[in-house]
C-alpha cells in the first residue's frame, strides 16, 4: 500500500511540476520574443518605449513597452511570478520525494561515494543554496557587465558543478542536481531580483519619482539569463531517464557542457530571428548540431569504457535486435537474474518500497528475460544503471556472464 502512495505522490507532483514549468517557460519565451520584436512607434518618444503587433485567437493585440515606466500606471497589473515559484517549489518537493526519500535507489551510488542518506540529502540541498549565492555574486561582479562574458563563465560553472556532483552522487543524481541548480538560479532570479526590482520601480512611480533605470536593466539581465537556461534545464530534467548520458562518471561534465551550450545556441537563434527574420543566424543550427553530435560520441565512448572494464571486445555494431528479442536465456542466466533483479522486477515484487514491477519490466521467467534482452544489454552491460546503484551487489563477473549470453545469442 505504502509504495502505491509513493508512486501516486510522485505522479501528482510530476504533473504539477511539468504544467507549472510549461506556463513559466511559455511566458519566458513569450516575453523574450516580445522584447526582440518591439519596433519604434511615433507616439512614444525615442528611447522611452516601443510597440509590437500580434494576432492571436481571432483578435489583434498592440503591445506597448515602457522602458522605465509609463506616466500613468494601471492598478490592474498582471505579475508573472507564480509560474516560477510553483515550478521551483513542486520541483524541490519532487526532488526530495524521489532522490532524498528514496536515496538508496536513486541518489547514492556506493561505487562513487558511500554516503549515508541524511548526508546525501544535506549535500544536495546545501549545494543548491551555495550554488545560488555564488551565481548571484558572479552576476553582480564586473563579469556580469558583459553578456558574453557572463555566458562563458556560466557555462564553465555548470561544467564544474556537474563534475562536482558526479564525484559524490550516482550518475542520474548528478544530472538531476545539475539541472536543479540551474533551475534554482532561474527561480532565484525571479524571486530575489526581478520581482523585488519591479516592486521598487512601482514604489518610486507611486511617489511621483523617476525610478532608477538600473533596476530595470538588472532585471532584464537576469531574465535573459533565464531565457538561455530554459532549454538546457529541460534536457537535464529528462536526462535521468537516459542512462546513456550518465554511463560513465568521467564523461558526465563534458556531456552536460555540450548539451547546455547547444541548448543556449538554439535559444540564441530564436532570439535573433524574432527580432528580424531576415537576420536569422542559420549557422547556429550547425553549431548546436555539432555540440550534440559531440555529446553523442562522448556518451558512446562512456559506455564503451564500461565494456573494456568488463574485458569485452569493443562492439562496433550491436547484433540484430530481432535475434536478441526472442532469445531465451540458459538456466544459469535465469538464476542470476532471479538473484539480482527479480526481487523488484516480478509480478509481485518483494523489495521494500517496490509495489509493481518497475516500468512494467518483469524478469521473473526465462521468457520474460528473453523479451527484455535489449533493455538488459543497455542497463546492465553497456551502462551499470541496473540494479539501481547496484543495491543487490551484482559483480563485474556476473555482468560478464550476462554479456556473454547476449553475445552468444547474437551469433
CA-nearest of 288, 284, 252 to 269 is: 284
Least distance CB 340 / ligand HEC (angstroms): 4
Q: Does residue number 343 form part of the binding site for ligand HEC (CB under 6 A)?
A: yes
Q: Does residue number 358 form part of the binding site for ligand HEC (CB under 6 A)?
A: yes
First to last CA, the chain: 45
Instruction: Give the CA angle between residues 8, 13, 14 to the nearest 5°.
Output: 100
Give the Cα separation of 346 and 356 in Å (integer).
Answer: 8
Helices (H), 38-170: 82-95, 103-106, 117-140, 147-168
Least distance CB 97 / ligand HEC (angstroms): 13
Query: Which residue among 222, 345, 362, 377 contacts ligand HEC (CB under 6 A)?
Result: 345
Residue placing its CB nearer to ligand HEC in the complex, 267 or 377: 377
Least distance CB 257 / ligand HEC (angstroms): 24
Q: For residue 262, what are the contacts with CB-CB under 8 A and spacing of at least 6?
A: 287, 288, 289, 291, 292, 295
The residues in 72-111 that bind ligand HEC, with binding defined as CB under 6 A, are 105
Residue placing its CB nearer to ligand HEC in the complex, 112 or 394: 394
Q: Does residue number 394 form part of the binding site for ligand HEC (CB under 6 A)?
A: yes
List the grid coordinates of 332. Answer: 544459469
Q: Does residue number 174 form part of the binding site for ligand HEC (CB under 6 A)?
A: no
Listed ranges 66-74, 251-259, 275-283, 335-343: which one lies at the site for ligand HEC (CB under 6 A): 335-343
Q: What DSSP assignment string belongs to 12-25? A: HHHHHHHHHHHHHH
Query: Which residue among 344, 373, 382, 403 contacts ligand HEC (CB under 6 A)?
Result: 344
Residue placing its CB nearer to ligand HEC in the complex, 315 or 392: 392
- Cβ-based neighbour number of residue 116 at 10 Å: 11
Compose the 203-242 pattern: x for residues touching ligand HEC by CB under 6 A, - for all others: --------------------------------------x-
Residue placing its CB nearer to ligand HEC in the complex, 106 or 226: 106
Residue nearest to ligand HEC (CB): 341
Taking each helix axis as running N to C, give the angle between helix 283-309 and helix 252-275, from 0 to 180 degrees, rounded to the nearest 10: 170
The residues in 153-172 that bind ligand HEC, with binding defined as CB under 6 A, are none
Listed ranges 10-18, 76-84, 267-275, 344-352: which one lies at the site for ligand HEC (CB under 6 A): 344-352
CA-nearest of 256, 237, 248, 242 to 295 is: 256
Residue placing its CB nearer to ligand HEC in the complex, 170 or 227: 170
Give the Cα separation of 162 and 159 in Å (integer).
Answer: 5
Residue placing its CB nearer to ligand HEC in the complex, 84 or 176: 176
SS3 394: coil
Least distance CB 28 / ligand HEC (angstroms): 28
| Residue the block writes with cell 532522490 | 99
The residues in 238-297 that bind ligand HEC, with binding defined as CB under 6 A, are 241
Compose the 369-388 pattern: x for residues touching ligand HEC by CB under 6 A, - for all others: ---x--xx--xx-----xxx
Give the Cα separation of 130 and 143 in Å (integer).
Answer: 19
SS3 49: strand
Strand partners, 63: 52
- DSSP code at position 101: T
Give the Cα separation of 335 and 327 in Å (integer).
Answer: 16
What is the binding site for ligand HEC (CB under 6 A)? Answer: 105, 241, 337, 340-341, 343-345, 351, 354, 358-359, 361, 363, 372, 375-376, 379-380, 386-388, 391-392, 394
Amino acid at each position: 500500500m505504502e509504495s502505491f502512495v509513493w508512486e501516486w505522490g510522485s505522479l501528482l507532483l510530476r504533473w504539477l511540476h511539468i504544467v507549472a514549468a510549461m506556463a513559466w517557460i511559455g511566458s519566458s519565451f513569450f516575453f523574450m520574443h516580445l522584447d526582440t520584436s518591439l519596433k519604434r512607434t511615433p507616439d512614444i518618444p525615442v528611447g522611452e518605449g516601443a510597440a509590437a503587433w500580434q494576432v492571436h485567437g481571432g483578435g489583434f493585440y498592440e503591445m506597448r513597452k515602457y522602458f522605465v515606466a509609463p506616466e500613468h500606471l494601471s492598478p490592474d497589473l498582471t505579475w508573472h511570478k507564480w509560474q516560477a515559484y510553483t515550478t521551483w517549489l513542486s520541483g524541490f518537493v519532487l526532488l526530495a520525494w524521489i532522490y532524498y526519500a528514496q536515496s538508496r535507489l536513486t541518489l547514492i551510488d556506493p561505487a562513487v561515494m558511500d554516503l549515508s542518506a541524511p548526508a546525501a540529502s544535506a549535500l544536495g540541498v546545501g549545494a543548491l543554496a551555495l550554488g545560488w549565492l555564488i551565481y548571484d555574486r558572479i552576476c553582480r561582479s564586473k563579469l556580469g557587465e558583459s553578456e558574453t562574458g557572463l555566458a562563458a563563465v556560466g557555462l564553465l560553472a555548470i561544467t564544474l558543478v556537474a563534475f562536482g556532483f558526479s564525484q559524490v552522487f550516482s550518475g542520474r543524481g548528478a544530472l538531476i542536481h545539475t539541472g536543479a541548480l540551474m533551475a534554482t538560479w532561474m527561480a532565484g532570479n525571479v524571486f530575489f531580483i526581478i520581482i523585488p526590482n519591479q516592486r521598487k520601480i512601482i514604489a518610486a512611480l507611486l511617489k511621483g519619482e523617476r525610478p532608477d533605470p538600473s533596476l530595470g536593466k538588472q532585471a532584464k539581465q537576469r531574465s535573459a539569463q533565464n531565457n538561455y537556461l530554459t532549454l538546457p534545464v529541460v534536457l537535464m530534467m529528462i536526462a535521468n531517464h537516459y542512462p546513456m548520458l550518465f554511463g560513465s562518471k568521467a564523461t558526465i561534465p563534458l556531456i552536460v557542457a555540450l548539451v547546455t551550450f547547444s541548448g543556449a545556441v538554439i535559444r540564441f537563434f530564436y532570439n535573433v530571428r524574432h527580432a528580424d527574420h531576415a537576420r536569422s543566424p542559420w549557422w547556429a543550427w550547425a553549431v548546436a548540431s555539432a555540440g550534440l553530435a559531440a555529446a553523442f560520441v562522448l556518451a558512446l565512448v562512456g559506455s564503451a569504457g564500461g565494456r573494456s572494464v568488463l574485458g569485452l571486445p569493443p562492439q562496433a555494431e550491436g547484433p540484430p535486435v530481432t535475434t536478441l528479442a526472442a532469445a531465451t536465456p540458459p538456466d544459469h542466466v535465469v538464476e542470476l537474474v532471479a538473484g539480482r533483479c527479480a526481487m523488484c522486477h516480478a509480478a509481485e515484487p518483494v523489495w521494500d518500497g517496490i509495489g509493481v514491477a518497475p516500468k512494467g519490466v518483469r524478469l521473473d521467467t526465462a521468457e520474460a528475460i528473453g523479451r527484455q534482452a535489449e533493455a538488459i544489454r543497455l542497463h546492465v552491460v553497456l551502462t551499470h544503471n541496473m540494479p539501481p546503484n547496484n543495491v543487490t551487489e551484482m559483480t563485474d563477473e556476473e555482468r560478464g556472464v550476462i554479456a556473454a549470453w547476449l553475445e552468444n545469442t547474437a551469433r
